[in-house]
Structure 1
Amino acid sequence: MTVEKTRATVTIAQRAKRELQEYALLSAYLYVCFGALVLYKMAILGSQGVHFSAFGIPVVKALILGKFILLVHAVKLGERYGRLPLVSVIAYKAALYLLLLIVLSIAEEAIVGLSKGRTIAETLAEIGGDKLPGMLATSLIMLLILIPYPASREFAVALGEGRLWGLLFEYRDGVDHERSTRVAKE
């Protein structure tokens, strides 16, 4: 095997590992957020005497949305914004991810409607009617949930590779306490 081929294999393996880690972290983050929304809904409905449990749904939603977000990122959708302030890029990408979530939610509702014997038109009419305020409120909450993902990606790009995570795990005073403790002992 040539050196170039070995480097390409290592690079592909490293890239796959990094993408899998990013997918796992993003999906876990989304699951926690979706799970919190389900808990909140359970609490509200429980106070009205309606009991349900739907913790499988947030897992599936998190895995699907996480994959779609990474696909949007991979095809560089939304990358043609030119020179804009970082806050604008973050807001634009969060809105793009929210739009993706809304489309996926509508598709989910249509599939559920079809499984219950309703037509897509009937299901979409329901979404536009009684369910609209709830969907708008959920969408606004989801926008707030989605903002940290593009923000962290854009900050990582602006700071340089690996610097964001380094900053997050440094002590606030900027001193490497482990190193300063070793120096003080010597």
Structure 2
Amino acid sequence: MSDAASLSRRERAVSGLKRLGIIFLYFWGLLAVSALHKSLILSESGIHYRQGFAVVNALVLAKIVFVAEELKVGERYEREPLVYAMALKAAVYSVLLVTFEILEEIVVGHFRGKDLAESLSEVGGGTPFGILTTTLLLFFALLPFFGFRELCQVVGEPELHRLLFVKRARLRIVDED
């Protein structure tokens, strides 16, 4: 095996871990804020809510998104205008994530001796409206995520990083040159 091939594999592995880490941090932030909000609302009624599973759930959701991206889920929208591509990917991935959440609750409920209705009550209260609401919340949470991803593909990661993280005064000087 040549050094170039192993370097290429190593670079792909590092790139993949970086992508997984970014996806994880995004979901962790969403879930931590969501858990905090839920605990604040429930505490008003005297109900204590534990927030400990945000990290584990973020890792699971990140892995699902990472694997789906590796399998090119939603890639057929790549040629559409950016706004369509990000909205369609957010829709596809929100349905995918809610589907996995439902399947997870059914499997966990089975091992805990719960029936289907009890298991589904963990996802949006178990009602079709609650599940739809959960899907819509995920959709709107994923819009900026896929917006940045799509912009990064079009503009390029170094340029997008420069636009987002360099002071505007320095951007103007560089652009005027």
TM-score (norm 1): 0.81
Which moves more between the two structures, 90-99 or 101-110?
101-110
What is the DSSP-based 3-state SS (H/G/I as helix, E as strand, rest coil) of the residue aligned with 2:77?
Answer: coil
Distance 1:45 1:171, change over 3 A: same
Which moves more between the two structures, 146-155 or 73-82?
73-82
Specify every segment of 5 or more residues in structure 2 that has no aligned partner in the other structure, as ranges.
Answer: none
Distance 1:130 1:32, change over 3 A: closer
Q: Which residue of 2 aligns with 1:184?
A: none
Which moves more between the two structures, 42-51 or 99-108?
99-108
- CA deviations over 1:162-181 (Å, ceiling 9, x no partner): 2211221222231469xxxx
CA contact (8 A) 1:170 1:176 kept: no
- 5 Å matches for 1:25-174? 25-55=22-52, 57-81=53-77, 83-120=79-116, 123-124=119-120, 126=121, 130-132=125-127, 133-173=129-169, 174=171
Letter in 1 for 2:63: K
Radius of gyration: which is bigger?
1
Q: Which residue of 1 aligns with 2:11?
A: 14
Whole-Å separation in 2 of the counterparts to 1:36 and 1:61 = 13
Q: CA deviation at 1:17?
A: 0.8
Identical positions, percent: 34
Whole-Å separation in 1 of the counterparts to 2:76 and 2:142 = 20
Give the aligned CA root-mean-square deviation in angstroms. Answer: 2.4
Whole-Å separation in 2 of the counterparts to 1:15 and 1:128 = 35
Whole-Å separation in 2 of the counterparts to 1:21 and 1:129 = 31
Specify every segment of 5 or more residues in structure 1 that has no aligned partner in the other structure, as ranges.
Answer: 178-186
Q: CA deviation at 1:97?
A: 1.0
Q: Which residue of 2 aligns with 1:180?
A: none
